[in-house]
Structure 1
Amino acid sequence: MKKAKITAYVDAALFDEINELAARRRVPKTQIIEAALASFLSPDSAEQSEAAIVRRLDRLTRSLERLERDQEITTEALALFVRFWLTTTPPLPDDTYSAAKAKGKERYGGFVKTLSRRLSKGPTFAKELSREIENDLRATESQS
Structure 2
Amino acid sequence: MSRARLNIFIEPEHAKRLSQLAVHKGVSKSAVIAAALASFLSPDGGDQREAAIAKRLDRLSRQFDRLERDQNVLIETLALYVRYFLTVSIPVPEAQQEAARAQGRARFAQFVEQLGRHLQRGRSLVREVHEEIELEAASTHAGQGEPEEAVDGPAV
Normalised to the residue count of structure 2, the TM-score between the two structures is: 0.69
How big is each residue's C-alpha offset from its partner over 1:77-125, in whole Å with a ceiling of 9 and x where there is no partner? 1111111111112111121111111111111111112112212221210
- Distance in 2 between residues matched to 1:66 and 1:113, nearest whole Å: 27
Note if 1:121 corresponds to 2:121.
yes
Query: Cα distance, 1:139 vs. partner?
Result: 3.7
Q: Partner residue of 1:96? A: 96
**Alpha carbon RMSD of aligned pairs, Å?**
3.3
Q: Which residue of 1 aligns with 2:84?
A: 84
User: Is residue 18–residue 32 contact of structure 1 (8 Å, CA) maintained in 2?
Assistant: no
Where do residues 28-39 of structure 1 align in structure 2 (5 Å cutoff)?
Answer: 36-39=36-39
Gaps of 5+ in 1: 23-30
Amino acid at match of 2:127: K
Gaps of 5+ in 2: 9-14, 145-156
Give the partner amino acid of 2:19.
Answer: A
Q: Deviations over 1:38-92 (max 9, x none)?
A: 3232021111111111111111111111111111111111111111111112111
* CA drift at 1:136: 2.6
Aligned pair count reads: 136
Q: Corresponding residue for 2:57? A: 57
> Structure 1 residues 140 and 45 mapped into 2: Cα distance closer, same or farther (>3 Å)?
farther
Q: How far did 1:21 drift? A: 5.3
Q: Identity of counterpart residues, as a percentage?
A: 40
State the match for 1:71 in structure 2: 71
Measure the CA separation in 1 of the matches of 2:129 and 2:100: 32
- Equivalent residue letter for 1:94: E
C-alpha distance in 2 between matches for 1:137 and 1:37? 53
Instruction: Tell me if structure 1 keeps the 8 A contact 2:70–2:126.
Output: yes
Q: Report if aligned partners of 1:74, 1:126 keep a CA contact under 8 Å in 2.
A: yes
Distance in 2 between the 1:18 and 1:110 partners? 58
Native 8 Å contact 1:70 1:126 kept in 2:
yes
131-140 vs 3-12, greater mean Cα deviation: 3-12
CA distance in 2, matches of 1:79, 1:5: 70
In terms of fraction of residues, the more helix-rich structure is 1
